[in-house]
Structure 1
Amino acid sequence: MNMQLMLDYLAELEENNEKDWYHAHKEEYTKANAQFLELVEHLNLEISKFDSSVSLYEPKQLTFKLMRDTRFSKDKSPYNPSFRAHIGPKGKLPIPVGYYLMIRPGGKSFLGGGLFADMFKDATNMIRDYLLSHGQEWEEIIGAPEFTRHFTVDGSKLKNVPRGYDADHPQAEYLKYKSWYLEYTLEDSKLTQDAFLSSAIEIFRAMKPFNDFLNQALENFQMPQR
């Protein structure tokens, strides 16, 4: 697959983020997007080999549109100049958590894992409660050499431990979080290397214990009905 084709198209879209340009360059989009779908299909297959919770989906079921919802944003540019996908047990649904990929030029690409969404209060509370009784397991996961070599836990969080939780708990700092995720950043040069695919799989494999922990906490989560 041609990673450079993706990067070149997205860089041009970022410079010309308007509907007229997008429609005038639909052929370039089609070619670049086809390369991204090929990448997602390969990643889905390889991830399913080491994570049995992940099923095989059509690549289009795992990707997100370029069009942005600008109704509540100060930024009115119509497109998000990035190719994005989430490969999880339920496809691109954020819960159960899975493996996230964003391709965006300028060193903004990354591989991700964990819970990025913090709008599901039930999910946040379930993870906090699970942390209370599985703190040792959590520390073993985030303290493992393979983990610390690549990741630090990130996420939106409160200034203080929320009401109802012990501020002196050993995992008190993580109880402040509303989301818990990992990001492994990718320079453009890494994306175009021949070894990118195999290295991406290894990074995702290193995320699996973290994802497994969160999904155990979220086992009975029900996605809100629209």
Structure 2
Amino acid sequence: MSTTIPEEVLSFLKDLEKNNNRDWFNERKSEFKAVKNEVKIFCNALLTELNKHDKIENMKLFRIYRDVRFSKNKMPYKTHLACSFRRLKPELRGGYYLHIKPNNESFIATGFWDPNKDDLMRIRKEFEIDATEIKAIMEKESFKSVWGTIKGDELKTAPRGFDKGHEAIDLIKKKQFVFTKKFTDEEVMHPDFLKNVDASFKAIRPYFDYMSDVLTTDLNGVSLL
């Protein structure tokens, strides 16, 4: 069983981008199912690899159909295929994401996309008390060479109750705590893609260990589990 992303996947998505309508798609339903199955096989193989060094609670392959009810963009189909992996809660926090899109727009992402209100406040309070450890993790070369710098939406100013002059205000202002890594089409189709994605996800582990510890303890370091 193949664990690579074949060229047919990217080709189909390229054609879909040019022909994003139901008639075209319905005529090629069998082709889409084959393409989707290739991505599913890859995601299941990645799940197996992740479980060798992590504990994954759930793997989800996202639907190709767009929800256009409240969107100005009425195109019925996404022009990418993606899957996500959720770590075992409540002790392990964070998740992994794989996004396959042609024209060198594929990427992987990891971190915290939408922390709830309590988790966001807990993270911000930790950074307010001492951001030394998280900054040291993110600045380590073995980490930064893979994931670069932290990304995510943020407030324009300090959250209510926080000092806008705080030395870690760049982190405290964030609403998301995400890292991304891009891949070319050639890299996606390469036989080593699975190994490279898994190695990249493995490199995020110090960050996840830190954030999981923060989110499962109170400000005194006492376990909440």
Deviates more, 1:40-49 or 1:130-139: 130-139
Residue number in structure 2 paired with 1:70: 68
- The structure with higher relative contact order (CA 8 Å, sep 6+) is 2
Residue number in structure 2 paired with 1:125: 121
User: Which of the numbers 182, 186, 190 marks the counterpart of 1:189?
Assistant: 186
Q: CA deviation at 1:177?
A: 0.6
Query: What runs of 5+ residues in structure 2 fail to find an aligned partner?
Result: 218-225
Residue number in structure 1 paired with 2:223: none
Matches within 5 A, 1:196-207: 196-207=193-204
CA distance in 1, matches of 2:41, 2:70: 33
Report which of the two structures shows the higher radius of gyration computed on alpha carbons. 2
Helix, strand or coil: the match of 2:51?
helix
Q: CA deviation at 1:169?
A: 2.5
Helix, strand or coil: the match of 2:23?
helix
Residue number in structure 2 paired with 1:85: 83
Deviates more, 1:66-75 or 1:205-214: 205-214
Q: CA deviation at 1:90?
A: 5.1
User: Which of the numbers 114, 125, 132 marks the counterpart of 2:111?
Assistant: 114
Contact 1:66 / 1:80 at 8 angstroms: preserved in 2?
yes
Matches within 5 A, 1:173-188: 173-188=170-185
Q: CA deviation at 1:143?
A: 0.8
Residue number in structure 2 paired with 1:223: none
Q: CA deviation at 1:28?
A: 0.7
Query: What runs of 5+ residues in structure 1 fail to find an aligned partner?
Result: 221-226
- TM-score of the two chains, using structure 1 as the length reference: 0.86
- TM-score of the two chains, using structure 2 as the length reference: 0.86
Name the aligned partner's letter for residue 46 of structure 2: L
Q: CA RMSD in A?
A: 2.0
Residue number in structure 1 paired with 2:145: 149
Q: 1:22 to 1:123 in 2, by over 3 A?
A: farther
Say whether residues 1:4 and 2:2 are aligned partners.
Answer: no
CA distance in 2, matches of 1:157, 1:75: 25
Contact 1:46 / 1:201 at 8 angstroms: preserved in 2?
yes
Contact 1:6 / 1:32 at 8 angstroms: preserved in 2?
yes
Say whether residues 1:26 and 2:29 are aligned partners.
Answer: yes
Residue number in structure 2 paired with 1:170: 167
CA distance in 1, matches of 2:213, 2:79: 34
User: Which of the numbers 213, 221, 225 marks the counterpart of 1:216?
Assistant: 213
Helix, strand or coil: the match of 1:49?
coil
Q: CA deviation at 1:134?
A: 4.5
Deviates more, 1:120-129 or 1:135-144: 120-129
